[in-house]
Each structure stands twice: as structure tokens, then as C-alpha cells.
Structure 1
Amino acid sequence: MIQDPEKSSSVLSLFPRFLDTKGLVLQDFELLFGVETASKLLEKWDCTLKQKVIQEAKNLTQSPLLSCLIQSAENCSTCQEDWDRDMSSLLLLVYLLPPPSSGNKKFVKISVREALDCVVRFHKSCCSFEEVLGSTQTTQPYILAVGTSKSSIHDYYIAVDKWLIPCMAKSSLSAFDELFKVHYVFGISYDAALHNMFIFLQATIYNIDVGITRESPRVGDLRAKFLN
């Protein structure tokens, strides 16, 4: 079904347990790739990669938003409007591997700030889901983080084509892990704005199709720098 464009959009209506049973995305990804591959991000991020990402981001031309993310990633910010350390550090990857230039006529160039919304969006817990889903144009997966503030999230969902898949995750890192995996479970292509970021994660962290998937020079350079 997921390989048939005419049928793929109806997968969640035919298999509604994805919408009310947490962990099915994780289970299916593990069946596809095995336990070792499935656990890569949670094992590697804190111990080896997070600090490298933060340090590399400090070498970029600074903007107020980038500086704020770096401070939050280092746990130096006390503002409730900032994401937690893990989410902030993961979002720094969007700065390190920004949306590609508009060489493809089908792809509209967007800013890094706009690309951040393609990864995660905050939803205040007292507001209606219909309102936020109705205002979203993209059909590509993104994280919907629900809570009283960005620093106080109590539930995570993966939004896919106006459906909400509840995450097993109770942390932003685990939610990001599920966001990556949902692409493989449902056969969804990466968002064009986040293509470089996801290819980097695919090759550097999950070790999926290394040497087979085409990667940009920017992705290759960053991967080589982090692994050496």
C-alpha cells in the first residue's frame, strides 16, 4: 500500500490502531532494521554527537534565534519559551544543514527559521488540535509538541497529512527518533527543506544505506568531521 501513490494516503484510515496505540511505529521500524539500528540515536546523541553539533553551530554566523538555540542546548537559558536541551541541539542541525537552494522548480526555497517549523511545532495543551492541523499546509511528517510551554511538554505526536500519531516518547529526543522512523514505516520521502538533515542522520547515526544514498558535499563534509 505505501508503495502505491493511490493507496498510500488511506493507510491510516485502514490501520487506525496507529492513531490510538503508542509504539507501533517503533515496533515496525525495529522489524525492518533490527534492534541495534533502532536504538542508534538514543545511544549516540548525548554521549558523542550533541556537543559536536553545539560546537559546530558556534562557528556559524550568529543570529538571535541561533544564539538562543545554542544557549538552550547548553542549558544556559531560563526562558520558558525555549525548547529543552535535546530539542534545541537537534534543531541546530537545521542551521548546519540548511534547506537547499531552489535548484528544483518544484521546491520553493524557505528560510532556516521556516524549516524549524517543519521539524517541530508547539501546541498549547488547552487549544484545539483541529485548529492547528487545519492551518498546516504540509503533508510531510513533523512533531507536534503539546504542553503548557516549550520547556514543559507532556505529550508528543507525529503529524502526518493531518493525522496525529501518538508518540511513545516522553522526551524530545525520543520524539525526534520517532519522526525519523515514521518515514520508513510509511514510505514517506523526506521534506525537501530537511533533506540534508535527514540524510545526515540516516548515514551518520542510523547507518542506513551508507554509500548507496546520494548525499550533498555539505552532508559528507559534516559527517566526516563528526566521525573523525
Structure 2
Amino acid sequence: MDSFVKDKLEEWGLMEWANSFQENFIDKEIFVLLEMETLKELIPPLGPRMKAAKKIKELNSEQNETTVVTQDSQAYQSTLQSPTFSLQSPKSLITTSTPEHSNTPKRPKLHFDIRKILNDNNGGDIIESEMDEGLLSHKYRIQAVRMFVSHLIEQFGDRPTSHVKEALARSIVNEFPKLKGEDGDGYINLDFEVIKPKCGDKLFLLWTPAVARNLLHYADKQNDWSRHLGIVQDSSQLSDDEVCNIALQCIPCILPVGSQKIKGKGKRATIEDALTSFVDLQKIGTNIPHYLEGVKQKQPFVLAIGSSRVSPEQTYIIIEREAIPQESLLNAIDLCFKCFHVFDMNYQWQSYNTWQFLQTVVYNLPGKMSSSVVSLKTYLKVGRK
């Protein structure tokens, strides 16, 4: 590998993705002319790929040499985001438009015929009716996402660009304006479905009241978890939804809390730290804009507004000091988990084991499991004796 290329990859923290593909990095000139399709193959996670694209673009702009490239390559150079695609099928449900007079290549504007996509699939008429009302249920939301993802893959391959997915989300909202509140959610769910196929609805399918009650029985043997959650009523008297809420928030209380080193000194989180970094409970009447101004946590987390963790009045995803409202705590935790993977972010160190439990046990994604996670997984699998 060219020493210049190696130095740059190490500087950007991208060596682990490049080590298996050294033959593609032949020399400095080829490195700075990499197209996005190659980059996507080398670096699948979205976050590091965008970081590499930005760095390569900056590096390329510093070169004082003239290169002859195709029009498609020029489009890559200008955006470093969108691979070429074909729209020649007569059955295409997409229309494009570009300026008639332009000296610089621009990505075409995309528009999807959302109603035709739905009507071409079984059950799409029911989904279309619900979307018209703006009351898309979780069951049909999952089906709708699958329909749209299947269409994207059919038209653009198994890795549609963010430009294409944004166009789809925009088309959905334009066609069904009552769904505007779900624009961000739909984008994240679509992205997650593409990078982690068949995992999008795992939490909703597997987090049943029976599993939740079993987890609480396990927790009773570990510590006084109800004190940390501020629960005073008997869990046997709670409804199924309330049991599912409490069991999820109980996880940070029974798994080991995280630790990290700061300036050579170890720091260990408390159970309250782990719990708050996972789901932060605030009182009814909390001023959300004022709350967001004081957020220091960089990673996404869940904000619950209410008098108790049993049944919050409102739930939000907090990411980049923005609050995305959710219809339930389960939805909020699900979307928060997906944000980590779509944006390629690390879990909070305080509640790392909690998210690792959800990753490996609930969503069944690869990952290292601590002995405590293995123990809990085994118990839930075997069930109460």
C-alpha cells in the first residue's frame, strides 16, 4: 500500500475497513479518484463512509492535476454521495427532472408514485387508506416499509443512496401530508431495513408481556430494581403495556453499569447514570426547548415525560439536541436503537450493556456478550421454573 494512502487512512481512523482491500488502494492518484460505489464496498457503515468521502473530496480538491473523467464520474466528484442508476424501465414508478441549462452535473430530482407502489402490493389499499387518515398503525407501518424497501431495492439495488431514500420519504409526506410527523422516523426505519434486513420489527415481535414478566422475575433476584425506577405498585397488578415499559427500563438496573477512563483515571457509572442515559424521565410540564439547551449527551437517548416510568405521558428521541416525538416508549427505544446503527454511533458508555443486550438478544445482531448478558439471555430462554 502506498505510504501516503496508509498515512491518510490511519489519520482518519479507517484502517480496519481498508486492511482487507489493500489491492484497491494502488497509489495516491487512484485513491483520490475513488468513486462512491467502491467506497461503499470498502466501508459499509454510513458514518465512516461519509467521513471518508469528505476527506477524499478535500484531498482531491488539493490536487493540481487535470484528469479526464466521464460525466457520471464528475457527478461522483461533485457529490461523493450518489451512485449512478437506471430509470429506463417503462414500469418505473419514478419521474426525474433536471434543469435544461446547466454547466455543472446535478443529481436529478426524484419523485415516487407512492399510491401506485402501494396498489401494486397485496394489502396496499388498506395501508393507503390509513395513510390518508394519518393514523398508520404499527402493523401496517411495518408492511408499508417493506413495500417501499422492496421497491427501492428493485429500482436501485440493495444499497440505495441517502439521496434516493430522502426522495422517497419526501414523496410519501407530499402524498400523505398527515404523516409529516413521521418523516424522520420513516427515513431511519428505511435505512435500518436496508443495512440490517429482517431485523426492523424484532423488538415489537419479541418483547411480549410474558418475556417482560419473566425478566422482572429475574430482576427480583438481582437487586431492589423497583427503588431505582421509583415503582411502588406490585408489578403483578400492572397492565401488559406497563409491564413491557417497566421491564425495558429495568435492564440498566440489573446489568453491570459501564465504566471509562478519563485522563488515565477510571470512572464507573451509577445505576442512575445508566438508567438516565437510556431513558431520562422528566416531570410533566417540562419545557422541551429549555431541556434541549442543557443536553450534553452526544449519543441518542429516550426522553420520557410523566409522573412515573410505568406509563409516560409523552416520549421522545433526543438526538443532536432535537426532540422527535414517539407514540410509545417501545417505539422510542426501537427508533433510538436504530439511530445508533444508521448513523454508526457508539452506545453510551454508562448504559453500554443495556444496548448490547438489545443488540444481541432482542435484535439478534452479531456482537460480544458479557457474562451477565449471557446469563440473562439464558434465563429468558429457559423460562421460570
Name the TM-score, length of structure 1 as normaliser.
Answer: 0.75
Select between 125-134 and 24-33 the one with higher mean Cα deviation: 125-134
- For 1:156 and 1:163, how far apart are their aligned partners in 2? 13
Select between 60-69 and 115-124 the one with higher mean Cα deviation: 60-69
Partner of 1:96: 254
Structure 2 residues without counterparts, runs of 5 or longer: 1-45, 55-162, 171-179
From 244, 257, 268, give the equivalent of 1:86.
244
* Max Rg structure: 2
Structure 1 residues without counterparts, runs of 5 or longer: 8-13, 78-82
- For 1:123 and 1:5, how far apart are their aligned partners in 2? 39
Map 1:1-228 onto structure 2 (within 5 A). Answer: 2-3=47-48, 4=51, 21=183, 22-34=185-197, 36-62=198-224, 65-66=227-228, 68-69=230-231, 71=233, 73-76=235-238, 84-102=242-260, 105=264, 108-124=267-283, 126-146=285-305, 153-167=312-326, 170-209=327-366, 213-228=367-382
Deviations for 1:7-64, whole angstroms, at most 9, x for unmatched residues?
Answer: 7xxxxxx98x899724322222122223x31111111111542122100111023266
- For 2:232 and 2:187, how far apart are their aligned partners in 1? 33
- For 1:188 and 1:122, how far apart are their aligned partners in 2? 23
Alpha carbons 2:302, 2:316 under 8 Å: kept: yes
Q: Deviation at 1:214?
A: 2.1
Q: Deviation at 1:123?
A: 4.3
- For 1:126 and 1:172, how far apart are their aligned partners in 2? 18
Alpha carbons 1:158, 1:166 under 8 Å: kept: yes
Task: Evaluate the alpha carbon distance shift between residue 92 and residue 64 of structure 1 in structure 2; reply closer, same or farther with a 3 A threshold.
Answer: closer
Task: Evaluate the alpha carbon distance shift between residue 195 and residue 150 of structure 1 in structure 2; reply closer, same or farther with a 3 A threshold.
Answer: closer
Residue identity matched to 2:358: L
Q: Which runs of 4+ in 1 moved over 6 A?
A: 17-20
SS where residue 208 of structure 2 aligns? helix
Task: Evaluate the alpha carbon distance shift between residue 107 and residue 206 of structure 1 in structure 2; reply closer, same or farther with a 3 A threshold.
Answer: farther
Residue identity matched to 2:372: R
SS where residue 199 of structure 2 aligns? helix
Alpha carbons 1:54, 1:70 under 8 Å: kept: no
* Richer in helix (by share): 2
Name the TM-score, length of structure 2 as normaliser.
Answer: 0.47
Residue identity matched to 1:23: G
Identity %: 24
Alpha carbons 2:229, 2:309 under 8 Å: kept: no
- For 2:306 and 2:228, how far apart are their aligned partners in 1? 23
Q: Aligned residues, how many?
A: 211
- For 1:188 and 1:19, how far apart are their aligned partners in 2? 24
Q: Deviation at 1:145?
A: 2.5
**Which of the pair has the greater relative contact order for Cα pairs under 8 Å at 6+ separation?**
1
Q: Deviation at 1:121?
A: 2.1
* Alignment RMSD (CA, Å): 3.5
Select between 23-32 and 179-188 the one with higher mean Cα deviation: 23-32
SS where residue 118 of structure 1 aligns? helix
Alpha carbons 1:58, 1:70 under 8 Å: kept: no
Alpha carbons 2:245, 2:311 under 8 Å: kept: no
Task: Evaluate the alpha carbon distance shift between residue 62 and residue 26 of structure 1 in structure 2; reply closer, same or farther with a 3 A threshold.
Answer: same
Alpha carbons 2:223, 2:254 under 8 Å: kept: no
SS where residue 143 of structure 1 aligns? strand
Q: Deviation at 1:102?
A: 4.8
- For 1:158 and 1:44, how far apart are their aligned partners in 2? 21
Residue identity matched to 2:298: T
Q: Deviation at 1:187?
A: 0.8
- For 1:45 and 1:70, how far apart are their aligned partners in 2? 23
Deviations for 1:76-121, whole angstroms, at most 9, x for unmatched residues?
Answer: 59xxxxx943322111111221313556757631210121111122
